[in-house]
Amino acid sequence: MSVRPNKPAKPQIEATGHVWDGIEELNTPMPRWWLWTFIACIIWGIGYAIAYPAWPMLSRATPGLLGASTRADVAEDIKRFELANAEISARLAAADLTAIAGDVALQSYATSAGAAIFRTNCSQCHGSGAAGVQASGYPNLLDDDWLWGGDITAIHATIAHGIRNDTDPDARFSQMPAFVDILEKPQIAQVVQHVLAISDQDHDAAMAQDGAALFGENCASCHGDGGLGNRELGAPNLTDAIWLYGKSPEKLLETITYSRGGVMPSWTQKLTEAEIRAVASYVHQLGGGE
Amino acid sequence: MTLPDTPAPSLYAAREPVFPRRVKGTFRRLKWGIMAVTLGIYYLAPWIRWDRGIAMPDQAVLVDLAGRRFFMFWIEIWPHEFYFVAGLLIMAGLGLFLFTSALGRVWCGYACPQTVWTDLFILVERWIDGDRNARIKLWNEPWTLRKAGLRAVKWSVWLLISVATGGAWVFYFTDAPTLLGNLATGMAHPAAYATIGVLTVTTFVFGGFMREQICIYACPWPRIQAAMLDEESLTIGYRDWRGEPRGKHRKAEGADALGDCVDCNACVAVCPMGIDIRDGQQMACITCGLCIDACNDVMAKVDKPLHLIGYLALSDEVAERSGQPARSVWKHVFRPRTLMYTLLWGAVGMALVVALFIRQPIDLTVEPIRNPTFVILSDGSVRNTYDIRLRNKNGAPRGFRLSVKPDTALTLSLEGTQGDVVTVPADQTLLQRVYVTVQRGNPIGTSDRTDLRFWVEDTTNTDRVFKDTHFTGDAE
């Protein structure tokens, strides 16, 4: 292309030749590289549609020559993370349960992994904050009261085998009788007053007096003479401030009359040993661990 | 409608090549100076070292994306302090408003990377191909071995500059000497190579071949700046009332009737944008000032007053046309609008400086856990839980003692730690769960909300900070 730069181009605007009602259409040409950019984009688009998933079909889009798939990417990412965690995971599964808390790296891994597993598997009953459901039978895991023991070994056993389930022979088991068949209604009312008395609540002293004898005959075998409970049997302490099913006289009456017994599934089938240990470590460090 | 009687004109136009001539003068010297300073800062800044302690990077200017830190000499900015960066961006914006309203498109003409790199590329072009006439001649020549050789040399030098440009960019994001070693041995992260590749291509194409096309067709800034200019803004213009009618000043043509413009086209020949400033204000003019130098050179030679082309404000035109002297430059620069921009700019700057100096020596956040808000313990006491984040911005580990007020009613304990002291490793944030318990029977345990204050004290010195939060009781 020959140019004559000594003649500066005066802005001479060319007309397209189109005239409407005496109004002339001028032609201000666009830069030609725009056209090339546009064509390059089209070519790129065609190449992209061939190389990557593009055309929607009935069941899925065309796969593309490069075989790109975000699902496969995710699966690969998961595999990569599992591989990266394999070593510490194996260490967690083999470690002495009581030694986990003292190992900074192991404890950090266990609580992070445990928190994720807890949110997925446990939060349905125990709540995402692990506070349970007050007075409804789903235990609060943040407090210092434990039915079956609150040290890491006991928590681990509870998670691994569950409570009162039919699927795991090692599940923790105990059964409170329904006293509707054993005691008369006034007797049950007296026992309620006794329980109110030992837990330092408002009560009828005379009825509580009679209830104490009934308690000794019927309840103390599991809950202990003083009502302090028995962790071997999952029998709750009746003298403290924590009530799984409520502390009001009405709730206590209902509990004694019809009995209570929560069920927790066994997690051995669903989670690996390392995962169970991770959840146990997580629960143990929530503030109530012993 | 009448049908066109001529063949349809092309709707696309090829780029007209521009061959700016070499020029000497005040503005050219200024531009050389600015180029040296800006390119110097760009290429050298990542190599300045700055000692911050063992666990910290020793690069003076570093954007640590992985560690989410921004280092600028003695300033370290964490993500939660990003308002500093926002403040700097606001200052940059206000600075542009100020300079544009006072001095027109000075950013475009002197400091814009597109302008600076194009200038550098043209300098290389001139060294290799010669000045304007030689370059035009070479352009129009058919391809010969000599032309191919010259092109190869020129493009190679451009490519070297481009690689260095992309290369300098990545040094801002990681330790420069380490990265240089890794780049050379092929061990650097693919992102580094990709970044260098992209910046090499853009620098090479934009500086070597697109040049003014970027300013005219790709950049939004000229169009935005136009809205910031007013009739008091200084900009480059041709004093047509002095220059016209232009002519070659040959006696035979009646030189006496002509204006000062000798129609030598020097202003056109030196223009990197390929425009004629005598056509008036135009979008393509980046106000680089080279036409002023070219014209002043000629005016001096023909013994006429300088500044036929020069910085002027639109408001002066009327006075100048009637032979009055123009108002002084300072009167154009100092006016309410620019004063306001300056004040705003200064206010933001002062606020940032103040914010920088009142930064707490210890960074502490306290987040009360709300799921659940409180826990009743077996002895009937009520417990609240708080997540405390402690940042240690020093290069060495620090011990922090935690306490809570009022301490008569509240007891504090730390998860996983005996006592009340935690150690935060160098340049890290520690997340510590803290329990605050109130005994059964205390009214705090049964009231909905009680204010409390966490104190954190550095065990090695007297630095201490507090954070107010509250205690939630069982108020059912």
- Whether residues A29 and B416 touch (CB distance < 8 A) is answered with no
- Which of the given ranges, A182-191, B66-75, B240-249, B329-338, has the highest pLDDT on average? A182-191
Strands (E), B45-161: 61-64, 69-72, 75-77
Percent of chain B residues topping a pLDDT of 70 = 97
Residue A166: per-residue pLDDT: 92
Reading the block at residue B411, the tokens are: 């007891």
Tokens 């160098």 found at: B426
Residue B68: per-residue pLDDT: 85
DSSP one-letter string for A171-232: SB------GGGTS-HHHHHHHHHHHHHHTT----HHHHHHHHHHHHHHTHHHH-TTS--BTT
What are the tens digits of pLDDT across the range B350-359?
Answer: 999 998 888 7
Radius of gyration, alpha carbons of chain B = 33
- Whether residues B378 and A11 touch (CB distance < 8 A) is answered with no
Residue B250: per-residue pLDDT: 66
For residue A244, pLDDT beyond 70: yes
Comparing B56 with B471, the larger pLDDT belongs to B471
Residue B138: per-residue pLDDT: 93
What are the tens digits of pLDDT across the range B222-233?
Answer: 888 878 888 889
For chain B, say whether A58 makes contact (Cβ under 8 Å): no
Q: Sort out which chain A residues have CB atoms less than 8 A from B14's CB and list them.
A: 1, 32
Q: Sort out which chain B residues have CB atoms less than 8 A from A237's CB and list them.
A: 378
Q: Summarize the confidence of residues B183-210 as an average pLDDT.
A: 93
What are the tens digits of pLDDT across the range A104-140?
Answer: 899 999 999 999 999 999 999 999 999 999 888 999 9
Residue A95: per-residue pLDDT: 92
The span from the CA of B38 to the CA of B35, in Å, is 5
For residue B342, pLDDT beyond 50: yes
What are the CB-based long-range contacts (under 8 Å, 24+) for A107-111?
A107/A281, A107/A285, A107/B416, A109/A85, A109/A278, A110/A277, A110/A278, A110/A281, A110/A282, A111/A278, A111/A281, A111/A282, A111/A285
Residue B344: per-residue pLDDT: 95
Classify B102 as helix, strand or coil.
helix
Which band of pLDDT confidence, cut at 50, 70 and 90, is reported for residue A5? very low
Comparing B397 with B120, the larger pLDDT belongs to B120
Classify A30 as helix, strand or coil.
strand
Tokens 């020959």 found at: A2
Q: Summarize the confidence of residues B315-320 as an average pLDDT.
A: 85
For chain B, say whether A228 makes contact (Cβ under 8 Å): no
Residue B6: per-residue pLDDT: 60
Which band of pLDDT confidence, cut at 50, 70 and 90, is reported for residue B269? very high
B210 DSSP 8-state letter: I
Reading the block at residue A219, the tokens are: 């309840």
Residue B153: per-residue pLDDT: 96
Angle in degrees, CA A202, A205, A209, rounded to 5: 130
- What pairing do the DSSP bridges indicate for beta strands A30-31 and B12-13? parallel
Comparing B258 with A222, the larger pLDDT belongs to A222
The span from the CA of A5 to the CA of B383, in Å, is 85
What are the CB-based long-range contacts (under 8 Å, 24+) for B451-455?
B452/B404, B452/B405, B452/B406, B452/B410, B453/B404, B453/B405, B454/B364, B454/B366, B454/B386, B454/B388, B454/B402, B454/B403, B454/B404, B455/B402, B455/B403, B455/B404, B455/B405
Which band of pLDDT confidence, cut at 50, 70 and 90, is reported for residue A12? low
For chain A, say whether B136 makes contact (Cβ under 8 Å): yes
Residue-wise burial string across B51-87, b where 16 or more C-beta atoms lie within 10 A, e elsewhere: ebeeebbbbbbbbbeeeebbbbeeebbbeebeebeeb
For chain A, say whether B372 makes contact (Cβ under 8 Å): yes
Reading the block at residue B428, the tokens are: 């890290």
Considering CB atoms only, which of A31, A107, A241 is closest to B376?
A241
For residue B473, pLDDT beyond 80: yes
Comparing A77 with B9, the larger pLDDT belongs to A77
Which chain A residues in 93-122 lie under 8 Å from chain B, judged by CB atoms?
Answer: 101, 107
Angle in degrees, CA A206, A212, A214, rounded to 5: 115
Which chain B residues in 254-313 lie under 8 Å from chain A, judged by CB atoms?
Answer: 265, 268-269, 276, 279
Q: Summarize the confidence of residues A227-234 as an average pLDDT.
A: 94
For residue B260, pLDDT beyond 80: yes
- Whether residues A35 and B210 touch (CB distance < 8 A) is answered with no
Q: Sort out which chain B residues have CB atoms less than 8 A from A33's CB and list them.
A: 15, 210, 213
Residue B252: per-residue pLDDT: 60
Neighbours of B412 (CB within 10 A): 16
Residue B347: per-residue pLDDT: 96
Which band of pLDDT confidence, cut at 50, 70 and 90, is reported for residue B251? low
Classify A75 as helix, strand or coil.
helix
Average per-residue pLDDT in chain A?
A: 91
